A and B are shown apart, each in its own frame.
Chain A
Amino acid sequence: DQQVKQNSPSLSVQEGRISILNCDYTNSMFDYFLWYKKYPAEGPTFLISISSIKDKNEDGRFTVFLNKSAKHLSLHIVPSQPGDSAVYFCAASGPDMRFGAGTRLTVKP
């Protein structure tokens, strides 16, 4: 079941630069999209979301972009900080909620 795909298992960026995490989905029924951050031994923590009626949502250093025609969304983190190092999961919702495989982000000082 690969309705949500994160094709980059890992990403390494320098502190202060931009991190861009990508996600693709296949099911047109999805109408709400979320990004979660996960540290080891903890449950996923909600980061930011976007409804299908929007193409951009911003919250501080985090911005999510949605391209419905391409069934693609991305998470931008600017500027990246070492504390952002974690695994990031993309999720797509409607009516159930499915997750991608995750991208491990490492921000180097």
Chain B
Amino acid sequence: EAGVAQSPRYKIIEKRQSVAFWCNPISGHATLYWYQQILGQGPKLLIQFQNNGVVDDSQLPKDRFSAERLKGVDSTLKIQPAKLEDSAVYLCASRLTENTEAFFGQGTRLTVV
């Protein structure tokens, strides 16, 4: 079974620039999460999709962050414009059902300079 794929692995941008991350979940997994993990902290939930609908985006800074999951499969997370404090690892995870484990991709390390 192929795992969760994320790209790019690393990205360095200047503040005020835009950036996009891509995630391909495990086939058949209806639930998809995006997390932000700042160094030394636990993953912080940004947005949760169930198929192509948003379940929870209460912690997504909507003035600069956006996410979509077209056709209920792949997902993209965008930051526009980026700030220095957005430097973090962005993790994508997918899950078959609520009471099963979630599988994580390797993450995208973003550095904003």
Contact = CB atoms under 8 A, between A and B. Distances in A.
A and B: bona fide binding partners: yes
Interface of A: 1, 4, 6, 31-32, 34, 36, 41-46, 49, 51, 89, 91, 93-102
B42 A45 contact: no
Interface residues of B, number: 24
A41 B107 CA distance: 8
B100 to A, nearest CB: 8
Interface in B54-113: 55-56, 59, 91, 93, 95, 98-99, 101-107
Contact of A98 (B4, B45, B93, B106): B45
Nearest to B6: A43
Contact of A49 (B48, B93, B101): B101
Given A89-B42, A95-B56, A99-B42, A43 B102 contact: no
Nearest to B35: A99
A74 to B, nearest CB: 17
A51 B42 contact: no
